[in-house]
Amino acid sequence: MKIVSTWDLRAADLPRLESPFFAAAKTKSLILDHAHNANNSDLERLLGRSRSSPGGGRASQNYRAALIEEVVRRIDDGELWLVHEVVDGEPSAPVVYWRSSGDGLKQWAIAEGVANSEIRSSVEALNRHGITPQQLDSHRIGGVGHLGASQFDAEFREKQREDARQQRSTSQSSNTSFLAQSVAPLALYAALEDEPETEKAPQEIHLEIGIFTDGTLNNAENSKELEERVAAECVSSLERGGISEEECAYWLGLSMGGSYANAPTNVAKLADLYDTSPSATEEIITYKFTVYASGVGTKTGAQDSTLAAISGLGESGIIGQVEGVFNDVVGQIKERSIREQISSLTIDLFGFSRGAASARHAVSEINRGPSGLLGLAFEKARLAWPRRIVVRFVGLFDTVAAIVNPMRLDFLASNSRNHPVQVYLDPKGVGKAVHLIASDEYRKNFALNSLRSRDGSLPGNFQEISLPGAHSDVGGGYPDQQREDLLISPYRPISRDRNKRPQQTMEWDNLDTLRGQKLSEGWIGEFSLPVQYSAKHAPVPDELELEGDPSVSVYVKRHDHPAPDGRVELSLRMLRQIRGEYSRLPLRLMHCLAVKAGVPLRKIPRRSDLDLPPEIENISENWLKEVVNGGVEVTLDTEQMSLLRNRYLHHSAHYNPLKLIVGGVSTTVMIGRNFSPNAPASSGERETHPNG
């Protein structure tokens, strides 16, 4: 048996295709079987991926396991095929079979509901040309069975022409009788009667490429590795009476790094939905593939880079991310043995956060032509520059460039200085651009790079849609369930003579006013979920048992020093239980608008990690209607807004100190009393930079 993509199927393979239902069960054992033992590069080729280099033995094993699971999933979805070879016997449930039709004629048929459009077209071509099982079974080199299934029409016609030319040439040079010379090739001459004797032009090569650049500390493969370790280590811990699975996952994520603890983003999910099925006519071959780049500051299977995560620069920074995807693009072109000049290259780009800035920088480099980074990658690979390049679609989730470049005395992530990254997106250089932005994001270090011009206008082919939620509510990356335990104000020291009566201070009164403001904003209400107990809370609120009510309250922090009275600081603490599925709503908006622009995305399947909770499905339906024709506003009634803010939307701005695992011990990192990378902007509003 062998695993084959639709594009690589031969005509003789069609009757030997196993149904996806039975094939999925057989595939894993086939891959792991010693005789077949596919290596990672074989699996990556099947999946249309660029080569990855996870670091470390465990990472390599986890990466391989993820590849195998992805192959199994694509076979189950009918994107790849399990082909029985002669020595394997017949398929358990063949996809294509030979049968008698109602009028007594025999022809090829397809099992109901299991074949995609390419397989259906191939079978129709077999029937159109009257191909029999005996013809397909022939192992003669150059026989019908060796022709490509997806291009059978074109290849069979070419074979007929070539056979006719050879037979005519043979008959004309023969010394046989006039009858043999004129009658024998008569049928083949007739077949060629309407086709001029000209050299057939080579097929044009068209490419459609999806480029997906993830956000800072977002890495889909690292997220999968944490899932696997949780399954392997945390369940057994719970069975032994240890900490809960969720608690175990928290500490594992803390020890492994941010990119492991973050869930897959909308960019990673869209990358999995990009259709890489090739197609062909007599004139054109169209190849499709994707390139996914893990987020700034990450490397698959390796430790996160703090420097790159802070600055956006360095080997795993924005420029490095763009150079990497361009090198992967030319690598995948070479893997397909494309030697002719590419007639048309169509590119779709999707990015989140700094990955959105990468997508915008990539467009700038693409539009520079042969002198840009993509052009240099083509030149280095000795590939001819395509005759035509089109950036069809740019899908952005909340662009945050946030470049810190000390070499140019740029020490603030929030300013508009982003050298050497080119964030400006030229409307003349793209077909359509969609930008989903987070209306509840206002952290100082998360200034927005808008698509709007300085006067607030948008070009006709740009669409910037403001959605409720924080940065990762829009782009994805939050777990399905999360306890938010946040300090939402800086620590405020009180006078020592009030240490025993902190409620009788102006600081307390100011925090109580802020408390009322947060409650009026709707962060806690009738739709709030009970808060689950967790050792993660530091410290555990006194009133919280196995579960308790969400709360916003003044937090009193006491210090023993300086003697004799010590000191007391106050902050406002918010404690909530939040669900993470809201980001699947922006996913649907982007998917819909991309498909409308011609991007080859498959339908979003019914799957636990993609499904919307029923209580917000109607919101999704309404929003799709509002944006599909170019709208930039979405609406909610009062109850819907309360539901989202109480239960789904995260409060991203806070003053919690950083937590790390150092030498196996949990360590809290405090740089000054109130430093936090997630602190809000001093104005309380998000800083926004225009597209310029």
Instruction: Identify the helix (H) or strand (E) that includes residue 437.
Output: strand 432-438
* Residue segments in the chain with a per-residue pLDDT below the cut of 50: 34-35, 53, 55-58, 177-193, 238, 251, 254, 540, 661-662, 665-666
Looking at the structure, tell me whether residues 570 and 640 fall in a common domain.
no
Q: Report residue 296 as tokens.
A: 């700034």
In a domain, 280, yes or no: yes
- Residue 268 near residue 220 (C-beta atoms within 8 A): yes
β-strand partners of 393:
348, 432
CA atoms of 23 and 441, how far apart (whole Å): 46
Looking at the structure, tell me whether residues 432 and 530 fall in a common domain.
no
Q: What is the pLDDT of residue 192?
A: 47
Looking at the structure, tell me whether residues 337 and 423 fall in a common domain.
yes
Looking at the structure, tell me whether residues 525 and 572 fall in a common domain.
yes
In a domain, 259, yes or no: no
In a domain, 211, yes or no: yes
| Residue 492 φ/ψ, nearest 5 degrees | -125, 110
In a domain, 608, yes or no: yes
Q: What is the pLDDT of residue 269?
A: 96
Cα 19 versus chain centre, distance: 28
Looking at the structure, tell me whether residues 385 and 524 fall in a common domain.
no
* Strand segments (E) across 623-691: 658-662, 665-669, 688-689
Residue 682 carries which side chain, given as an amino acid letter?
S
Output the CA–CA distances (angstroms, integers) from residue 403 to 73, 360, 419, 437, in the order listed. Answer: 38, 14, 7, 19
Output the CA–CA distances (angstroms, integers) from residue 580 to 303, 475, 527, 607, 644, in the order listed. Answer: 25, 11, 15, 15, 11
CA atoms of 679 and 686, how far apart (whole Å): 12
Cα 57 versus chain centre, distance: 25
CB atoms within 10 A of CB 3: 23
Q: Report residue 228 as tokens.
A: 């696997």
In a domain, 385, yes or no: yes
In a domain, 256, yes or no: no
Q: What is the pLDDT of residue 469?
A: 98
In a domain, 67, yes or no: yes
Number of domains composing the chain: 4
Q: What is the pLDDT of residue 179?
A: 46
Cα 629 versus chain centre, distance: 25
In a domain, 642, yes or no: yes
Of 163, 153, 172, 149, nearest to 191 by C-alpha is 163
Looking at the structure, tell me whether residues 540 and 622 fall in a common domain.
no
Looking at the structure, tell me whether residues 277 and 392 fall in a common domain.
yes
Domain that holds residue 40: 2-150
